[in-house]
Structure 1
Amino acid sequence: MSMVSNSKTNNLRWYYIRKETIVSIISSLYILLFLYAATSKLADYQNFKIQIAKTPIISDFSMVLPWLVPTVEIIISILLIFSRTVLVGLYASLALMTTFTVYIYSILHFSDVIPCSCGGVLQKMNWDQHLVFNIFFILLTIIGILLQPSTKQNKVVQNP
């Protein structure tokens, strides 16, 4: 009986290790994405600021967004580094990527002016590609949130 129980515990342990690995990969992708995006925006801050001011949908916020967006991206990246705050970071990533996606959709469907305020490699994408890219990351985030083990599950695996 103890052999079956031990085998079950080992299987559970491997199951949660695989889940944690997937969540770590998703978190790492977001850390890379957000730190890259924030760095690109800050490196070309004046251009980013001008592009934000040209965008009809968000031009009213052109004084605050150029520093707020990279700051939020950096904060989320920090949240995703630590295991205690990964879930909060994933929810924040989901909120930010959803906001970006709604913004892109709105620009594509309701705006005559389509400026690009993204930096680096992301600037090379057209708007439709960017929309697909964002949706892909939203799906990754949802997977990461669903795979995030609850504290009760962690206690069962850690204390067989």
Structure 2
Amino acid sequence: MKKSNAAIVIICTLIIILFVYTASAKLLDHYNFQFGLSESPFIAPFANILAWAIPAGELLIAVMLAIPAIRLAGLYASGILMSLFTVYIAAMLLSGSDIPCSCGGIVEEMSWGAHIVFNSAFVALSACGIYLQRKKRRTANNLPALA
């Protein structure tokens, strides 16, 4: 396996682990996750929908990352979702709200600042994966056909 292929697989595996873990934690403790969302000044009106949509979206993205044919779309989706999470956390910090994290599992033990760093790392991983996946596709498309 080429180094770039191995890097793509490692990146996707890390993101899959993150999303499956956090989605599972949110679903297993659904009441507390929904309650945490309902306490947020920004998303309280949408808490009931988001309490199901967020873990479902995380699981859908994990599946997309596992399927090579739609992996690039999964990398874009993971980058967008992690960026949205990061923007939300920054808004929480700027608003001065002292709402506990409802991310799920051990991730919710992080401070808001640590969350921004953690999420930014996963945004960077997604961006790196997008770059490598696009490069791989370009290389594959430029190869001469075997007769």
Q: TM (normalized to structure 1)? A: 0.85
Quote the offset at 1:90 in angstroms. 0.1
Q: Which has the larger radius of gyration?
A: 1
The aligned residue for residue 154 of structure 1 is 140
Mapped pair 1:115 → 2:100:
yes
How large is the Cα RMSD of the aligned pairs? 1.8
Q: Structure 1, residues 94-142: CA drift from partner, whole Å, max 9, x if none?
A: 1100000000000011142322111111011111001100001111111
Q: CA deviation at 1:151?
A: 3.3
Q: 1:108·1:114 contact (CA, 8 Å) conserved in 2?
A: no
Distance 1:158 1:147, change over 3 A: farther
**Which ranges in structure 1 are unaligned for 5 or more consecutive residues?**
1-13
**1:139 corresponds to which letter in structure 2?**
A
The residue that corresponds to 1:124 in the other structure is 109
Answer yes or no: is the 8 Å Cα contact 1:30–1:77 preserved in 2: yes
Q: Do structure 1's residue 39 and structure 2's residue 38 form an aligned pair?
A: no
> What is aligned with 2:79?
94
- Native 8 Å contact 1:101 1:131 kept in 2: yes
Q: Which residue of 1 aligns with 2:53?
A: 68
Q: Give the fraction of aligned pairs with identical amino acids, expressed as a percent.
A: 38
| Aligned mates of 2:38, 2:140 — CA distance in 1 | 47
Q: Would you say how many aligned residue pairs link Structure 1 and Structure 2?
A: 145
Residue 64 of structure 1 aligns to a residue in which SS? helix
> Within the alignment, does 1:134 sit opposite 2:112 as a pair?
no
Compared CA separation, residues 110 and 34, structure 1 to 2 (3 A): same
Which whole-Å deviations, capped at 9, do the CAs of 1:11-47 have from their partners, x for residues lacking one?
xxx7xx2111111100000000000000000000000
**1:19 partner letter:** S
Gaps of 5+ in 2: none
- d(CA) in 2 for partners of 1:134, 1:157: 40
Kindly state the Cα deviation for residue 152 of structure 1 after the two structures are TM-superposed: 4.2
